[in-house]
Amino acid sequence: MKFEYSKYSKHVAYEKVEFSFGIFYATKYFLLSELNEGIHVDYDIAGQIVSRFSDYIDKGIKICYISNRINSYSIKPQIWAEFNNEYDTFIASAIVTYTDFSYLNASLEKQFFNKSLKRCKSLDEAIEWVMSLEELNQN
């Protein structure tokens, strides 16, 4: 399910940011991505994302990241580790998977992420988990 069609898009204020490689939704609580079919997330794409959301990073705002994997794409898993070493923005992350293969990829990525990363079977599960995090509710 796309974020815009979910019940949460009606209850949580958000900014929609469109890139050539996908759509991001920025809220007070989380940054959610819905990337395009077949792309490969590399340092160039990661750099564009960091540049666009640098105001969160520079201000030290603590949020969560949700990857809503409605499409199949690949990511260089080391990007997680390098991002976490350089920035301390994300409290935790959730990856919404819709196929067994996507779940296996998320399991691999979990090995490179040094904070809590939950693999979810639905967007509802991911958002509810993120919104329940104690660290997020302290902001």
Count of domains in the chain? 1
Please give the pLDDT value at position 134. Answer: 83
Q: What confidence tens digit (pLDDT) does each residue in 40-61 have? A: 999 899 889 988 988 777 777 7
For residues 91 and 115, the answer to whether their CB atoms sit within 8 Å is yes
Any idea what the CATH number is for the domain that residue 112 is in? Answer: 3.30.750
Q: What confidence tens digit (pLDDT) does each residue in 75-131 have? A: 887 787 777 777 778 889 999 999 998 888 888 777 777 788 899 999 999 999 999
> What residue numbers bound the domain in which 65 lies?
3-137
Q: 94-120 as b/e, with b when 16 or more CB fall inside 10 Å?
A: bbbbbeeebeebbeebbebbeeebbbb
Distances (CA, A) of 126 to 14, 58, 67, 102: 16, 26, 9, 15
